[in-house]
Amino acid sequence: MAARRPATDGTGRSGRVTAIGVFEHGSLVRAGSVGSGRIAQVWGLDGVRIGDAVGIPPPAAGRHFAPPTLETVVVPRRPADRAALHAALTRLAEQDPLINLRQDDVRREIAVSLYGEVQKEVIQATLAGEFGVDVTFRETTTICVERPVGTGEAVETIGADGNPFLATVGLRVDPAPPGAGVEFRVGVELGALPLAFVRAVEETVRGTLRQGLHGWEVVDCVVTMTHSGYWARQSHSHGVFDKSMSSTAGDFRHLAPLVLTSALRRAGTRVEEPIHRVRLDVPADTVGPVARELARLGGAAHATTGRGTEARIEGELPAVRVHDLRRRLPSLTHGEGVLDADFRCHRPVRGTPPSRPRTDHDPLDRAGYLLRVQRRLTS
């Protein structure tokens, strides 16, 4: 990367590097260029966020940040600060998108993603010191995901009973391998639907998948548009454009959530919770109590190695229990234990799957969804 030269980030956006500073001997020194493997400060790329790759990354390159596994609702101590809190958290999210704001317009709440309990203190201090907003937090909860377990299809047709929108949309949901992400495919004939309508369906599908059948984000699936149809732009004789006679992108945006959730119901989803890999360095005489506590919290020890009076326990633990183990460790190890934990994978939840309240018009409730959409359109 060189100063005063164009640069492209991982999403294809381009900008111009206006200056570069590299760190040498503990200070920042201006430089004309910087190569891979060095730490530098770059000016001019306003659209770049944490996690973006600048330039052309190698084919096998991926993000080095594990996903946050915890979530909490941020509550202003003074109700009058609600708007200021929203603005402040939006600013923080622009600086660090990994906190991943989740706006609940139904309950007028804002949730943020966390890596651990200490992050609450950092956010609280930042909001108070930089924005003058004093906040508290609700109880921390685990961020689960939903994964399709089968294939499901659904279709809604223009003019059919129960479809008030001037659009035909058919969608099929198929599971994909872990880590594959979400892929949208167009299975209808190219040109059969205006590109703007195709984009409206894809954007809505991706937005709707943020809340699955149990309220968690749906991951690793392929969604294929199998059917499409619309009414071309038309009007009464010598009249102007008539929405009641012509399809718009809005028809597809409003219909797609109903079709997608029907397809998801037929496919079925499985709720999975985040599991952390844990490494514990403890006195050798405390291995037994620490391993038992790990098991009591729903985890398991896979390997134990020792050298003299010290031992290391390696295992796994549900993310929601890591903070409990961290609190218990000092008393179990005479204050000498050290815990290191990081995200490993998602695993199916045992027993009744947890759910998260939805933050939208809830297409799972068809009658309520149509009523709320109609009210919004009327207003």
Judge if 259 and 278 occupy the same domain.
no
Domain limit, last residue, from 267, 300, 315: 267
Domain limit, last residue, from 22, 38, 64: 64
Judge if 154 and 134 occupy the same domain.
no
The CATH number that applies at residue 331 is 3.30.70.240
Judge if 173 and 279 occupy the same domain.
no
Judge if 258 and 214 occupy the same domain.
yes
Q: Residues 35-51: what's their mean pLDDT?
A: 75
- Domain of residue 255: give its range: 147-267
Lowest mean pLDDT: which of 18-22, 43-47, 260-264, 329-333?
A: 43-47
Structure tokens at 253: 């945006």
Lowest mean pLDDT: which of 18-32, 38-52, 199-213, 340-354?
A: 38-52
Judge if 237 and 168 occupy the same domain.
yes
In a domain, 355, yes or no: no
Whether pLDDT at 58 is above 70: no
The CATH number that applies at residue 132 is 3.30.70.870
pLDDT for res 64 = 58
pLDDT for res 14 = 67
Pairwise CA distance, residues 239 & 21, whole Å: 62
Per the model's pLDDT, the better-predicted residue between 14 and 122 turns out to be 122
Judge if 92 and 179 occupy the same domain.
no
Contacts of 159 (CB under 8 A, 6+ apart): none
Domain limit, last residue, from 117, 143, 169: 143
pLDDT for res 104 = 87
Pairwise CA distance, residues 14 & 47, whole Å: 9
- Read off the pLDDT band of 39 (50, 70, 90): confident
Judge if 132 and 25 occupy the same domain.
no
In a domain, 369, yes or no: no
In a domain, 356, yes or no: no
Please report the DSSP string for 42-97 in residue order. EES-TT--TTPPBS---TT----PPPP-EEEEEEESSGGGHHHHHHHHHHHHHH-G
Whether pLDDT at 53 is above 60: yes
Judge if 94 and 22 occupy the same domain.
no
Q: Report how many domains make up the chain.
A: 4
Whether pLDDT at 117 is above 90: no
- Read off the pLDDT band of 107 (50, 70, 90): confident
In a domain, 379, yes or no: no
Per the model's pLDDT, the better-predicted residue between 198 and 361 turns out to be 198
Judge if 139 and 246 occupy the same domain.
no
- Read off the pLDDT band of 2 (50, 70, 90): confident
Judge if 210 and 255 occupy the same domain.
yes
Judge if 39 and 81 occupy the same domain.
no
Whether pLDDT at 120 is above 90: yes
Of 346, 366, 372, 370, residue with least CA distance to 217: 346
pLDDT for res 376 = 82
Q: Residues 212-227: what's their mean pLDDT?
A: 97
pLDDT for res 95 = 79
Judge if 151 and 253 occupy the same domain.
yes
Whether pLDDT at 277 is above 70: yes
User: Any idea which residue has 């999403």 for tokens?
Assistant: 11
Which pLDDT tens digit goes with each residue over 229-275? 999 866 555 555 556 678 999 999 999 999 999 999 999 999 999 99
Whether pLDDT at 62 is above 70: no
In a domain, 209, yes or no: yes
Helices (runs of H) and strands (runs of E) counted in the chain: 7, 20
In a domain, 372, yes or no: no
Contact 286, 333 (CB under 8 A): yes
The CATH number that applies at residue 180 is 3.30.230.10
In a domain, 365, yes or no: no
Whether pLDDT at 59 is above 70: no
In a domain, 174, yes or no: yes
Of 17, 68, 71, residue with least CA distance to 44: 17
Q: Is the pTM of this model over 0.85?
A: no
Whether pLDDT at 172 is above 70: yes
